[in-house]
């Protein structure tokens, strides 16, 4: 019966230098690819703003059918702002109603995070006609 002993001479593995070279190459490729992916990340994050504003539109329409006017208050229409990432929550946008009257309203979603690091925050708006527009691109 043969005994097999794992000695350093028989153990097949990569050296530390080989692993460091591979990690450096992966890091370099990541640095090259990341700036190209930033617009996609910003676009994906903006979906949060769009969904929240469409929800605000629905709540405002419901309020309008009951009171024959639009409301200036998020609480009055039944909207509860999710805690933002600055407050330990998950929301990347701050939602607010910028104007409301008997016949119209405007709501705005302002990013609190600069997704691509260019110093510009993303802003979306919606009105009573469900016209959803991106006011400021990030």
CA distance 138 to 112: 11
Compute the Cα dihedral for 49, 79, 83, 111 and give only its sign.
Answer: positive
- pLDDT at position 10: 65
Strand partners, 124: 109, 134
- pLDDT at position 7: 58
Looking at residues 1-29, what average pLDDT do you find? 79
Tokens of 120: 């510009």
Looking at residues 1-13, what average pLDDT do you find? 63
- pLDDT at position 43: 82
Domain 16-136 - what CATH class? alpha beta
Q: Domain residue spans in the chain?
A: 16-136
- pLDDT at position 35: 72
This prediction has a pTM of 0.72
Contact residues for 98 (Cβ-Cβ < 8 A; gap 6+): 106, 107, 108, 125
């Amino acid at each position: 019966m043969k005994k097999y002993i794992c000695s350093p001479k028989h153990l097949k593995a990569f050296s530390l230098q080989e692993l460091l070279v591979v990690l450096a190459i992966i890091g370099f490729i990541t640095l090259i690819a990341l700036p190209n992916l930033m617009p996609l990340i910003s676009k994906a994050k903006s979906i949060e703003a769009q969904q929240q504003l469409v929800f605000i539109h629905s709540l405002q329409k419901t309020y309008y059918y009951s009171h024959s006017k639009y409301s200036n208050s998020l609480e009055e229409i039944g909207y509860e702002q999710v805690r933002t990432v600055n407050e330990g929550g998950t929301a990347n946008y701050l939602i607010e109603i910028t104007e409301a009257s008997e016949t119209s309203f405007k709501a705005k979603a302002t990013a609190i995070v600069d997704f691509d690091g260019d110093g510009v925050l993303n802003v979306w708006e919606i009105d009573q006609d469900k016209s959803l527009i991106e006011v400021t691109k990030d």
